[in-house]
Amino acid sequence: MKAVWFAAVMAVSMNAFASDNNSDKQELQQLLEQTQSLSAEFEQQVKDEQGNVLQSLSGTMTLKRPANLYWHTMRPDETVMVANGEKVWYYNPFVDQVTIYAQQDMVDNSPLLLVLDSNTNQWQNYSVTYTDERYLVKHNNDNSQLELAFDGNKLKEITMVQAHGERTELMLSDVALNTQIDDQQFTFKVPAGVDVDDQS
């Protein structure tokens, strides 16, 4: 679950050319607002403080505003995560279990969901600085940080660094923006015979 709630982008040094946080935050929010939907393939690596790879994942993901996410890991093990704005379903076929979370709780613990909602009140808990062609998003109350890199208006890289130094890097490819996506993709049907752990 740690690897799924993941993700995302940072490591940056502040420099004299970085602009002020308020304008950087507005700029990032405006950039994210241009993305109504995003589909992509991903490669994800989790690294420790020393840069050693702890875990590698690959799969596909789909984001759709206002707060929908479909995340399908295919290698090394299959997992599926679906979020519809209210609940998050995390399905692990290997152990035949679905865990259900309240999505608001996941937003509190995962800055990645800021990408889904550029207007959420959660933004007030983060400062944003643009430097070295990346947006560095830092939580005001701890040392965790998120880094977002774009190719034009396409999100291409997300990295998250935890307070203890663990780093998760998510590289996107074959990115498609603002295509028609059926909302049914964000409705999860629990397979028959699967254990359900409802924590929502």
Q: pLDDT band at 9, cuts 50/70/90? A: very low
Which tops the pLDDT comparison, 43 or 3?
Answer: 43
Positive or negative CA dihedral for 40, 45, 46, 48? negative
* Cα angle value 107/146/31 (rounded, 5°): 85
Query: Which range has the worst mean pLDDT, 9-18, 33-42, 118-127, 160-169?
Result: 9-18
How many other C-beta atoms can be found within 10 angstroms of the C-beta atom of residue 165?
12
Residue-level pLDDT at 141: 76
Residue-level pLDDT at 114: 63
Q: Tell me which residue of 2, 3, 7, 1 sits closest to 116, measured CA to CA.
A: 7
CA dist., res. 116 & res. 35, Å (int): 9
Query: Over the stretch 43-53, which tens digit does the pLDDT of each residue have?
Result: 999 999 999 99
Q: Tell me which residue of 77, 104, 102, 103 sits closest to 91, measured CA to CA.
A: 77
CATH architecture of 21-53+107-179: Clam (2.50)
Residue 117 clears pLDDT 70, i.e. is over it: no
What are the start-end ranges of the H helices in 58-185? 103-109
Residue-level pLDDT at 191: 94
pTM: 0.78
| Domain positions in the chain | 21-53+107-179
